[in-house]
Structure 1
């Protein structure tokens, strides 16, 4: 649905050029809940703002449903933006308007028939579970309620694409969870494609089916969320998921023994539910002590990590056997 091809954004300033996005290629499919993650300055906000041309690329292509939107006329771009909703970290609500007035504003700007606006506003507020706050002002709302108003406003013109620019960063964990649940429900109900940027791996874990990790303007890792969690390939990805997996560096120092191996297992999906460790112990007559472990339930799969200390004559055979069962194995100490 959205194809980003050789996308670049270069800012020119007194200190010279700053390459915010570098030769970026990304494919976002219809109905994806796509997470783009990176540290501050990684280029993720610039990237998402280029998707609806709030930022103009320096070069490259943005292809949506087969059309390069960089070739759109001003009128066609306005129509495209109507079908591309956007929500922001700081809500961007009009303080002088009520909740219903804020949502109505998006419809007024889009040229809706004034007689149809009240009904549409009511429908949208019910959709985000704020029907009882229609006549409240933003100052009277919690952060989560403000974001729900912003979501309702973003959905006013029946968009097919919803862009989220750090929409949960200003919220506490409990409210973040409720907003992500709302977005997932809306995606399913309305058939949305959602592109979300964040610096919080918990957000990716809770909501997304696919993810890309950015570093210094480049996409350094991309794939299904469970693949990124189970087997991160880059240092930045490993850093992001490290709090969800045991820290082998700290734990391994405690158990290094000559003649024994310490291995890290990464597994997903049905492998999480199988008693592979107990089968391995019986089959190869070895001992396996669990040093650390975790299982995380993601949107599409469960992902597990275990660090084991192995002892016995058939350690190598046991490792090869468990690899054959679609479990990632990394030997982190070979005594």
Structure 2
């Protein structure tokens, strides 16, 4: 029997209306839809960057509001479109999360850099000396430092060039498989959705229009809304 790690029941928030779905452990859910449809609002509900006005969200069969927020965000890590790193060294950024829980291990530093294909010499580099692609890699490594069960990705490659997109996607897929991570990702790229996702959730005007296997959604859409969206993409 497949265990669901997240469950949304009749969730309403801002534009979102009566959102219902489950995410199973190990799935890679892609949230996609037109601009302003509620994608980021939905993503931010997964780790309480935002809370519903109505409805219930369960994480690992427990009401999400019952979790201590720092503990929840340790388990459900978020990587944003822009890196938002602290203006210090790479090491300072990597150790920040685990140090809050007194869990930082010095030997983890090189391991984390290795995960995202950065040389160990980068540990002492100030983050402002890094390129955009390197900063996004550090942002990903900083999230992984907390050993999350779930990785939330809010268009993490949209600000990068094709070469960096390809490299970071490769790192992501390796990490997801290596750590058996559950992934929830917002993307505007249907090519990226196919490469990374296993499940898809198409949202339009705050409502879930189609939900299911990502390949089936993209190849044989059932609704006019999804057909029109894919035609324009």
2:26 to 6, 19, 31: 31
Alignment of 1:141-160 (within 5 A): 141-160=130-149
**Distance (Å, rounded) in 1 between the aligned partners of 2:158 and 2:57:** 27
Pairwise CA distance, 1:243: 7.1
Q: Among residues 42, 45, 49, which one is paired with 2:44 in the alignment?
A: 49
Which residue does the alignment assign to 2:79? 87
C-alpha deviation, 1:147, in angstroms: 1.0
State the distance in 2 between where 1:218 and 1:150 align: 31
Q: 1:189 aligned to 178, 181, 192, which one?
A: 178
- The normalised TM-score by structure 2 is 0.91
Runs of 4+ in 1 over 6 A off after TM superposition: none
The residue aligned with 1:2 is 6
Q: Distance in 2 between matches of 1:46 and 1:204?
A: 19
Q: Is the 8 A contact 1:86 1:154 kept in 2?
A: yes
Contact 1:201 1:240 in 2 (8 A): no
Q: 1:200-279 alignment to 2 at 5 Å?
A: 200-242=189-231
Higher relative contact order (CA 8 A, sep 6+): 2
Q: How far apart in 2 are the matches of 1:195 and 1:153?
A: 17
Instruction: Select the residue among 164, 171, 183 that pairs with 2:153.
Output: 164
Q: CA deviation at 1:153?
A: 0.5
CA contact (8 A) 2:83 2:135 kept: yes
Query: Counterparts of 1:106 and 1:125 in 2: how far apart (Å)?
Result: 15
Per residue, is there more strand in 1 or in 2? Answer: 1
Pairwise CA distance, 1:148: 0.9
Q: Write the distance in 2 (CA, Å) between the matches of 1:186 and 1:77.
A: 25
- 2 CA distance for matches of 1:220 and 1:25? 11
Q: Say whether the 8 Å CA contact 2:94–2:141 is kept in structure 1.
A: yes
Tell me the distance in 2 between the aligned counterparts of 1:78 and 1:141.
Answer: 28
Please give the alpha-carbon distance, in whole angstroms, between the structure 1 residues aligned to 2:71 and 2:205. 32
Aligned length: 228
Gaps of 5+ in 2: none
Q: Does 1:109 align with 2:109?
A: no
1:135 maps to which of 121, 124, 127: 124
Question: Cα distance, 1:106 vs. partner?
Answer: 1.9
CA shift, 1:39, in A, is 1.9
* Post-superposition CA distance 1:11-36 (Å, at most 9, x none): xxxxxxxxx21100111111011100
Partners of 1:229 and 1:241 within 8 A in 2: yes
Alpha-carbon distance between aligned partners in 2 of 1:137 and 1:39, rounded to the nearest angstrom:
37
CA RMSD of aligned residues (A): 1.7
Q: Unmatched 5+ residue regions in structure 1?
A: 11-19, 245-335
**Hey, what's the Cα distance between the residues in 2 that align with 1:131 and 1:60?**
46
